[in-house]
Amino acid sequence: MADTLTPAQRSERMFRIPGRDTKPELLVRKHPHFAGLRFRLHQASLPERPDIILPKYGAVVFVEVCFWRRRRRQKRQIPATNTKFWASKIASNQARDQRNHRALRRAG
């Protein structure tokens, strides 16, 4: 199916999709809160801005949508349309995640 929006209209719609405080993130965030753990959110000084940071334990939590990162456990296929774009997009997302996770490990 062809996109019926202009690139500017598509960009505007994508801009309005929230990148933080999403429903999955709020659900995951409840667990450390109810356990009485102190945490920080979206610390910009860390690579990839983790969703939840537990400074006392030196741990971070990412709430990721598996489609964009194509994890091993996921068995979905690449979309049938524009396959070159999606394969490249998913591969670059995976490479970026690996770089950022290594940087987080080095930072402690």
pLDDT of residue 22: 81
The stretches in the chain having pLDDT less than 50 are: 73
The domain at 18-107 falls in which architecture?
A: 3-Layer(aba) Sandwich (3.40)
pLDDT of residue 26: 87
Per the structure block, which two tokens stand in for 42?
């979206």
| Contacts of 55 by beta carbon, 8 Å cutoff, 6+ apart | 38, 39, 40
Strand stretches in the chain, DSSP E: 40-41, 52-54, 59-61
pTM (2 decimals)?
0.64
Per the structure block, which two tokens stand in for 38?
């102190």
Residue 38 has φ and ψ, to the nearest 5°, of -90, 135
pLDDT of residue 95: 87
Per the structure block, which two tokens stand in for 32?
């450390």
